[in-house]
Structure 1
Amino acid sequence: MTTTATPRRRLRRASLTALVAASSTALLAGCGLQPATAFVPAVAPGSIEAIEGLPDDASLTVTTKNFTEQLILGKIAVLAAKAAGFDVTDMTNVPGSVAVRQLMLDGDADMTYEYTGTAWLTYLGEAAGIPDQEEQYFAVRDADVANGLVWLPPAPLNNTYAMAVRSEAVPELGDVDSLSDIAALPVEQRTFCVEAEFNSRADGFAPMLERYGLELGAADGVPTSNVSILDTGTVYEATDRGRCNFGEVFTTDGRIDSLDLAVLDDDQGFFPAYNVAPVFSAEALEETPELADVFDAISPSLTDEELRTLNRRVDVEGEEPADVAFDWMVEKGFVTRP
């Protein structure tokens, strides 16, 4: 039988909501970023309906990090929980992965959307990620049981590193669909734009080239003169403008579509998996196990292509994450307009 939230959870939640909201605003202001509001549009049930037998005072606290994709996912979670009948505390837009993780570990938040690779490498301290998406998920899921966290099955969305080719270069380069195809190109066409961090990572640029049979710095591989090392955020534009044929990207970034870049297939499975999944405190799922059905229904629709579109609406077109999330939830039939 579903029970109401414990007094301990309710007391912690009430005090931390104000604290995190205030600290998020201050930190974001210092970084020159705008804090997201806790507002979401009013929502009515769609395929997500109020959970039968849910107490009137049932509550759920949702938290996420403070970048665009996380804000959108957080608003999706808030809307889903509201449609399911919960009084939702919106604790999205928290600065930093570690802060969100601590809220979950301390029981001060009940749910977040997290990436398998982030948890494996950053939170659990493993030395290397696992490229196989299913294997990475099960490894994280099993490891986090001891921390009181439950990972529901992941979405297809895999926000990992990738290489993209500018569309204008395709006629000249020919049929380039995968990273393996780059090795067949003449040396002078193997030009890259990458960020400094990716260039220096132990699992970054040079090891990626090596996996695909190319040596960074070699005259017959990828000479250093073929590589432009750029500041964060400028790689996409530089790639589109022809500074290089191939640019380092993240697979769900909205600029991929807005600049008409094509993501190359990582056919040798070099990059670690970063699938997103709903993560709950074990306590929250014990109280309301039906939550798993609500979020399991949403996950299959969260793909790389869908999030590129949603991220673009925020980052390129200037829409609010809550509005973008609401429109998507209505379009998919998960909720309806009241």
Structure 2
Amino acid sequence: MNLKRRSLGTLAAVAVLGLSGCGLKPSATEVPQVEPAAISHVQGSDGQKLTVGAKNFTEQLILGKIGVLTAQAAGFDVQDMTNIPGSQPARKVMLNGEVDMEWEYTGTAWLTYLNKPESINDPQQMWESVRKADEPNGLTWGKPSPLNNTYSFGVREDYAKKHNLKNISDIAKVPPKERTLCIEAEFNSRPDGLNGMLKKYGLERGSANGIPDENISIMDTGTVYTATAEGACNFGEIFTTDGRINSLNLTVLEDDQKYFPAYSAAPVFSTETLNKYPGLAAEYDKVAQRMNNDVLRELNYKVDVEGQEPSKVAYEWMVSEGLIKPQQ
């Protein structure tokens, strides 16, 4: 579930200690052997090891396998270290040089790793700020993808059509009694969550003419999606690339006032590794520019709803995009 990239607490701290104590473990799920297609052979890669990491939730596992396949097609002997238990451990192994490449979210780096107090909602500005701030840490950020896995609100498809709901600001179109919200506890309390969003959109919390308190239901993350689809509430907090959006026929409202932080996915490299193989960034950019929210919703759906393996989903998508081809 996408929430895992933001929930870092005590378990993550324990995981850091465990990871540094016993080292990384290779992924148990292998990807097929592939050859270059749109991805090109990187000069100097023959026989050279490249270690690819990823966190242990669905979207990251898919992105991690995409990273493994990209490096393999570029000519490297790839060590697959996807399925790292948490954001902080994944960051640690990048900083200490155990991993050469990971896909990371700009918002996670900016707000969590770099501890910046101010949020940035423009994806390009967020990426540029993170790239500059991470340079002294020995990390180089590749170009961001159009994929932006941030917060928004989902609405039942029929309800959205009935009221012509396309943007979060359109919540104000419906009568106050119908402005019912399903949200998770963290979103209710975090400074960049519900209260700030309501203020940004001119909807006063607790007001009969805004969002009455009785209209707000706090639920477990997984319950929010189902409750929204079944009509327990009209507006449910979602992550914009979650596969359940497709399976439950939810309409994603556009954050038209640009409130939520940008969480663009981008390839992050060890600067030392990239200096050895400068052509590597261009190959990952070919992949990054093909990824967007619609693509990841579909890929996440195949794993979370259909039960397919992330390695299979990543492989079939890359073949379909002409990025790689099966080894002959």
- Is the structural similarity TM-score above 0.5? yes
Matched, 1:81 2:71: yes
Give the AA of the match of 2:121.
Answer: P
Q: Distance in 2 between matches of 1:96 and 1:148?
A: 21
Deviation at 1:57, TM superposition (A): 2.3
Q: Rg larger in 1 or in 2? A: 1
Q: In structure 2, what is the Cα distance between the partners aligned to 1:132 and 1:44?
A: 36
What secondary structure sits across from 1:301 in the alignment?
A: coil
Corresponding residue number in structure 1 for 2:117: 127
Q: Are the equivalent residues in 1 in contact too, given 2:148–2:265 (CA < 8 A)? A: yes
Say yes or no: does 1:160 pair with 2:154.
Answer: no
Tell me how far apart the structure 1 counterparts of residues 161 and 90 of structure 2 sit (CA, whole Å).
Answer: 45
2:258 is the counterpart of 1:269 = yes
TM-score (norm 1): 0.89
Shift of 1:218: 1.1
1:140-289 pair list within 5 angstroms: 140-172=130-162, 174-289=163-278
Q: CA deviation at 1:286?
A: 0.5
Displacement of 1:175: 1.1
Paired with 1:236 and 1:253, the residues of 2 have a C-alpha distance of 10
Residue identity in the other structure for 1:268:
Q
- Does the CA-based 8 Å contact 2:45-2:277 persist in structure 1? no
Alignment equivalent of 2:85, drawn from 95, 98, 122 = 95
> In structure 1, what is the Cα distance between the partners aligned to 2:215 and 2:40?
55
**Structure 1 CA distance, aligned partners of 2:171 and 2:226?**
21
* 2:23 partner amino acid: L
User: Do the aligned partners of 1:156 and 1:302 also contact (CA within 8 Å) in 2?
Assistant: yes
Number of residue pairs the alignment of both structures matches: 309
Structure 1: where are the runs of 5+ without partners?
1-14, 23-35
Using the TM superposition, give the Cα deviation of residue 37 of structure 1 relative to its aligned residue in structure 2, in angstroms. Answer: 2.1
**Partner Cα distance (2:105, 2:203) in 1:** 30
Q: Which letter maps to 2:34?
A: V
Residue 54 of structure 2 corresponds to 64
Superposed CA deviations along residues 271-310 of structure 1, whole A, max 9, x for unmatched, are 0000000000000100100101110111111100000000
> CA RMSD of the aligned region, Å?
1.6
Q: Deviating runs (4+, > 3 A) in structure 1?
A: none
CA contact (8 A) 1:38 1:92 kept: no
2-structure distance, mates of 1:47, 1:238: 42
Q: Is the 8 A contact 2:185 2:219 kept in 1?
A: yes
**Alpha-carbon distance change, 184 to 79 in structure 1, aligned in 2, over 3 angstroms:** same
- Post-superposition shift, 1:325? 0.2
- The superposition leaves residues 119-176 of structure 1 with CA deviations (integer Å, 9 ceiling, x where unpaired) of 000000011220011111100000000000000110000000001111132354x111
Identity score, percent: 53
- Residue 51 of structure 1 and its aligned partner are, at CA, apart by 2.3
Q: Say whether the 8 Å CA contact 2:45–2:74 is kept in structure 1.
A: no
Flag the 1:292–1:213 CA change in 2: closer, same or farther, 3 A: same
* Aligned counterparts, 1:305-324, within 5 A: 305-324=294-313
Q: 1:215 to 1:55 in 2, by over 3 A?
A: closer
CA contact (8 A) 1:38 1:91 kept: no
Q: Measured at CA, do residues 326 and 217 of structure 1 come closer, stay the same or move farther in structure 2, by a change above 3 Å?
A: same
Tell me if the contact between 1:94 and 1:100 (Cα under 8 Å) persists in the aligned partners.
yes
